[in-house]
Structures are given as structure tokens and as C-alpha cells.
Amino acid sequence: MAAPLVLVVLVAVTVRAALYRSSLAAFIAERVEVASPLNAWKRVVEGLALLDLGVSPYSGAIFHETPLIIYLFHFLIEYAELVFMITDVLTAVALYLAIQDYNKVVFKKQKLLIELDKYAPDVAELIRTPMEMHYIPLKVALFYLLNPYTVMSCVAKSTCAINNTVIAFFFLATIKGSAFLSAVFLALATYQSLYPITLFAPALLYLLQRQFIPIKPKSKSFWLYTMQYAALYLCSLVVIICLSFFLLNSWDFIPSVYGFILSVPDLTPNIGLFWYFFAEMFEHFSLFFVCVFQINVFFYTIPLAVKLKEHPVFFMFVQLAIISIFKSYPTVGDVALYMAFLPVWSHLYRYPAHLRLFLCLPPAGVLPHSRTPFDKTRWDRGHACFEQWTQCRLKAASRTCNASTRASPCFPQLRFLPHLTLQLWAVHQELEEVFELKPGLNLWPRNSSAHKLFTSLSLVLGDICFSWKFPLHCFSQ
């Protein structure tokens, strides 16, 4: 099995080396799908220039990477292309070894359950043979190394590739059953991009299963092991953060890195959910909705842990997908990591009701941004025309959604939105007429918080309808 893996690695390295020497490298590095304000190579170079001048790289609003990354490239800047190729290879090898060990565990468990006659007769087609499982690790490595998203991230020298490597080694350490290394690599991943903290739950569940500790809140062994793993994780994270402080002799990196991730001040277009929504929002409401959007990444961890406690590896896969969707500055490199795990669940492909929709989601998230120029006029639209613009958007959303829902039964739950929005707007207009006729009522002043909240709610509902035009049209039957 080593020979095919070596062949895949050679092909992947050759493709990357050829693209580095082509004119496409500069073009790819400029794409917003590949590079974000957090991991763009241009910003790393700016940070290195400031560091060489004796100025803190976090003194401005350009560099938002961690101190360990900038000091890594401070010594390896001349070999940057080689570093990124090596990180991709290391990620693929780590995933290969991890899935190989995971398949051995699954096969032993499957064999034991067959001997004990625990399987129902109608699940025979779900039982995987050794031959099927033999090629899954190679497919995972192949899916990662030759995925165009991974290749583009490497060619653009996006530091997302380094984040993927750290997560891959965390996954390998967890599958191997090493609680210490798992906690260390999870701390490194959290230090790099904050959101991998949600992988704590699936890692803990897998390690508990491997130690044959029952997952019961009343069990003392459960809480003892949980506290040990949490202590290892927190101690590793504190050591890494303190090391960063000693390198810079300053805490400036905390607001520049983690504050930047959480507050989302840079609304440069990307493949994520944040930039478009907040580019059209008043500053008065931004803090509330930033909190709501950020909660999405962490909100699903507890219910998924309850539902998938017997399947922690699948839980980890789902959590990686959630991170790549809901993080504030996602790139195609984040999508490539969770897509590499798809061959592990190949025996389930026949069962999803909307597999075609699922497979179209990653391109659907990228293509609109790569083909649609950024609308600068919408970015700079003033508050004076807010209500007039809202009415136009609502009417457009109504026409769009009415036409789409007649042709598509895929999303019937969205059909009520344009009608509800127009009803809300009609009530809004009628109440304003009443207030003008009887100003003594003064129930809803035009500049009050209630007025702003209601008009914003109408705008949000209209935007939801308008933004669903693409999937309604694309996935119509």
C-alpha cells in the first residue's frame, strides 16, 4: 500500500511545483475564495517586513496570523513553497495512517458483533469487507492531495494548509489513543484558528471509548478522565500562548488574532456567511448579530455529542464541516479538509435522500463568489434611502421566490417568507399612517429602537428570500 501512496504524493508534488512556476500562481493567490484576511500570504509578508524593521507586526490592521507562524516563516521565508508542499504531504500521510488504524478498530468491532449475532438481517449490505476497507486510507489521501481546493490553497501559500496539518495530526493522535498528543495538537489548532475547540467533545468521546470507560455522567471514571484530558488541553494552550508572549514581549496578538476572528471587522468578500450580511447592516445591530452568527459554530456541539456519542469519528467529521461553513473567514482549504473524509462513509452513499444536493453544496458556496463581481455600490449605500431600498428588495424577493417555488418543491418551508415579509411591511405602513393622523399616540416614533428593529427584521426576511434564489433555481426538480 506504500507504493500507491508514494505515487499519489509524487503526482501531487509535481502538480504543485508546475503551478508555482506558472503565471496562474499570482492569479490564484489573489482569489478571495483561496485567501482570506486571516491567512493570505501577502499579509504574512507584510508582517515579516514589519518584524524585520523592529516594529510589532500587530501594530497595524494588516497582519492577523499567530506569532508562531510569523517566526516560522521568519527563518523559512526562502523555502516557503517547499514548506507548503511538505505540509500538504504531511496532512495526507497523517490522514492515511489515522484512517488505516480507524478501519482496524471498526473491523474488529464489526467482527465481534457478527460473532455475537448482534446485527439485524437487513443490515448485511452495510457490513464492509476487508477488501473495501483496504483502499479507503489511500482514497482519503488521494481526495486530499489531488483536490483542486487543496492544490489552490497550497499554490496561493495560504496558511490554512498549516492549520489543516495540525488538525490532521490531532486526528491521528486521537485515533492512536494518545491523550497527551491529542490535547497538544488540539491546543495548537485552537491557538491557530480558535474554532477547533469544538473538536474537544468528539476527541474525548473517542478516547473514552478506547479506554472502555462508560459515557455516563454518574460514573467517576468518566469525570476523572474528562478532567485529565481537559487539564492537558488547557495547560498546552496556556504554554503556547505564553511562548507567543515571550517571542513578542507583548499581548498585542490576542486582540489582533482572536479579537479579529470574533468581531469580524474586515468585510472583504469570501465564501463565508458573514461579509454579505454585515455589509448591509447598521452598526447599531452588528454586535447582536455577530454574537448570533458566532454561536452557530459552537451551538451544535452539545446536541451532536448526545446524538453521536457512539460514533465520535463521524461526529468529528460533521464538526469539521460545521466549522468550514460557519467560521468568520473560511476558504476552500477548510472545505478540502472535511471533503477528504468522504470515502470513509462510502458505504452510506446509497442512503442520503439528497445526495445530489449534498455534493453540489461545496461548489455552490464557491462559484457565486468567483463569478460575481463585488457590488461596491451596495457596500456604500447610505442610510437615507434605507426604507425605499428595502421596499424594492422585498418586491424583488417576492417575485423571485414566487417564481422559484412554483417550479421547485425542494424547499417548501421557504414559501411563506415573501408573503410574511410583505404582510409585515403592510402593517408597518398602516401603523405609520395612523401615527401621522394621530401624532399624540406616539406609539412608534420613526427613530425609535422598535422602528429600527422592525425595518431591520423586514430587511433580513427579504434578504433570506432573495438569497435563496440560487439554490431554489439550481436544485429544482
> Taking residues 338-352, what's their average pLDDT?
83
Q: What is the mean pLDDT of the chain?
A: 78
> Which of 5-19, 52-66, 72-86, 186-200 shows the lowest per-residue confidence on average (mean pLDDT)?
52-66
Question: 34-43, 127-136, 191-200, 218-227: lowest mean pLDDT where?
Answer: 127-136
Note the pLDDT tens digit of each residue in 37-59. Answer: 998 999 999 999 988 888 889 98
Q: What is the pLDDT of residue 411?
A: 36
What band does 429 get if pLDDT is binned at 50, 70 and 90? low
Q: Name the least confident of 78-82, 88-92, 285-289, 469-473.
A: 469-473
Q: Is the pLDDT of residue 443 over 70?
A: no
**Considering the entire predicted model, what is its pTM?**
0.75
Is 80 exceeded by the pLDDT of residue 427?
A: no
Least confident of 275-289, 320-334, 356-370: 356-370
More confident residue, 5 or 390: 5
State yes or no: pLDDT of 164 exceeds 90: yes
101-105, 129-133, 226-230, 454-458: the lowest-pLDDT one:
454-458
pLDDT of residue 432: 53
Which of 71-75, 90-94, 433-437 is modeled with the greatest confidence?
90-94
pLDDT-derived band at 131 (thresholds 50, 70, 90) equals: confident
At 134 the pLDDT is 86
Residue 349 pLDDT greater than 80, yes or no: no
pLDDT over threshold 70, residue 409: no
| pLDDT of amino acid 223 | 93
Label residue 287 by pLDDT band (50, 70, 90). Answer: confident
Give the pLDDT score at 112.
82
Q: What is the pLDDT of residue 240?
A: 96
Kindly report which listed range (205-219, 252-266, 356-370, 458-472) carries the lowest average pLDDT score.
458-472
Lowest pLDDT segment from 59-73, 87-101, 445-459: 445-459
Look at residue 333 in the predicted model and tell me its pLDDT.
92
Among the residue ranges 72-86, 128-142, 441-455, the one predicted with the least confidence is 441-455
pLDDT of amino acid 358: 53
The string of pLDDT tens digits covering residues 210-251 is: 998 988 888 899 999 999 999 999 999 999 999 999 998 889
Mean pLDDT in residue range 382-395: 45
Residues above pLDDT 70, as percent of the chain: 72
Grade residue 181 by pLDDT with cuts at 50, 70 and 90: very high
pLDDT in tens, 356-382: 555 555 444 444 444 333 443 443 443
Predicted confidence band of residue 127 (pLDDT cuts 50, 70, 90) = confident
Specify the higher pLDDT residue, 317 or 454.
317
**Span 182-188, mean pLDDT?**
96
Task: Please check the confidence at residue 414 and state whether its pLDDT lies above 60.
Answer: no
* Residue 354 confidence (pLDDT): 54
Which residue has better confidence, 348 or 165?
165
> Cα separation of 158 and 337, whole Å?
14
